[in-house]
Amino acid sequence: MTTPMPAEDLPLPADKGTPHGLALSCPHCGKRCYIRTSRSVTETYREAWAICTGCGFKGKAHAAWDFEVSPSLLPNPRVALPRMEYRDAVDAFVTAHLAERDQLDMFANTG
């Protein structure tokens, strides 16, 4: 079994004080997980591997575009996302967030 890598031992970019990538919260200890590698499966779906800076957990996550609120100025002809009005998107997010208050927020800013 390998020892978890403490946050202070993660490689840092020369010009920034945090590791590269999007930070997610660990499903086990709640500390930051950093995406170490990822790949595009389609134009709207991506797989990623992450590692936790607190407990050493490693896992696979995914991200997908569900809809657009503003069309691209450089549209990709292979991408056809449903359109949602901005206000409707915000209302849907707030409603879902309030309904699931007890659920762990995977994008929470934990430290």
- Residues 28-85: tens digit of each pLDDT: 999 999 888 999 999 999 999 999 999 999 999 999 999 999 889 999 999 999 998 9
CB 36 within 8 A of CB 50: yes
Residues spanned by the domain of 52? 1-64
80 and 91: one domain?
yes
> Which H or E element spans position 36?
strand 32-42
43 and 53: one domain?
yes
Task: Give how far the C-alpha of residue 77 lies from the chain's centroid of Cα atoms, to the nearest Å.
Answer: 25
5 and 32: one domain?
yes
Q: Is residue 25 part of a domain?
A: yes
pTM of the model: 0.57
Q: How many domains does the chain have?
A: 2
Q: Is residue 109 part of a domain?
A: no
Q: Is residue 1 part of a domain?
A: yes
53 and 77: one domain?
no
